[in-house]
Amino acid sequence: MYNSYIFDLYGTLIDIHTDEEDPMVWERLSYHFLYSGYSLDPNVLKDQYRKEVTRQISTPLIECEFPELDIQLIFKNIVAELGYNPEENWLDETVLWFRLLSIRSLKLYDGVKETLSTLKDRNKKIYLLSNGQTAFVEAEMRILGITDFFDGIAISSNPGICKPDPLFYTYLADTFNVDLTSAIMIGNDATTDIAGANRMGMDACYYHSNCSPETETVDCKHQIWDGDFRRILELG
């Protein structure tokens, strides 16, 4: 019997597809920079972004096994190289523009709202443990109408740690007083969601979706391979 259900977001609840390699993303983002007085060639902007990503990964903001990127800081450093100090509001806006320009589709998987609602009716606690940036995770959850289902939302950009790092699971437990011994982790990625849960000694349910990395075997107690999200209600 599970009292708490911890869900991954992208590829588990939300069917999302993005393309950050599309040259049009960087061309249009460069106009956003230009309108603010920051002149950057699209290719230069893309190269500097990649360099900042590499820099953050090699020198993480917090000591952990799996650090998360801070995209706000990436854009702040890019603008700083031009001799400017951008305002916080502009950085928030830029992160959202980057996401909007790269996104190709965004929708809930069939049965998500029905399943979450039924779990609430059964007095289960529902939590989110998502890798991603707070700025667009919160916006996309709100757009799709699922925010209010959750008793706690943990997004990796807040602590600077991402799955499968056990520290991120501990962050969720400490922040929202979650008893992990009576919880189950549900996610579509064997190398992050399931591996992280295994390292914490938690039960897990692998949900195979169109966004799942290619795999044939998964090491966890429960597995859903047919895409029927409602089967989560059978877990107990």
pLDDT digit string (tens) for 5-57?
Answer: 999 999 999 999 999 999 999 999 999 999 999 999 999 999 999 999 999 98
Contact 154, 175 (CB under 8 A): yes
pLDDT at 183: 97
Q: Which of 51, 49, 101 is nearest to 75 (CA)?
A: 49
> Quick check: 236 pLDDT over 80?
no
CA 68 to chain centre: 10
pLDDT at 110: 98
Beta bridge partners of 125: 4
pLDDT at 103: 97
Percent of the chain topping pLDDT 70: 100
Percent of the chain topping pLDDT 90: 94
Q: Tens digit of pLDDT for each residue in 139-196? A: 999 999 999 999 999 999 999 999 999 999 999 999 999 999 999 999 999 999 999 9
pLDDT at 1: 84
Of the pLDDT bands very low, low, confident and very high (cuts 50, 70, 90), residue 4 is: very high
Of the pLDDT bands very low, low, confident and very high (cuts 50, 70, 90), residue 62 is: confident
Contact 178, 202 (CB under 8 A): no
pTM of the predicted model as reported, rounded to 2 decimal places: 0.94
pLDDT at 100: 95
The b/e string for 178-206 (b: 16+ C-beta within 10 A; e otherwise) is bebeebbbbbbbbebbbbbbbebebbbbb
Of the pLDDT bands very low, low, confident and very high (cuts 50, 70, 90), residue 125 is: very high
Contacts of 168 (CB under 8 A, 6+ apart): 66, 129, 154, 156, 159, 161, 162, 196
Burial of 213 (0-12, 13-18, 19+ CB in 10 A): exposed
Task: Tell me the pLDDT of the chain averaged across its residues.
Answer: 96
pLDDT at 216: 83
> Quick check: 215 pLDDT over 90?
no
Of the pLDDT bands very low, low, confident and very high (cuts 50, 70, 90), residue 3 is: very high
Q: Which of 41-55, 57-71, 118-132 has the lowest mean pLDDT?
A: 57-71
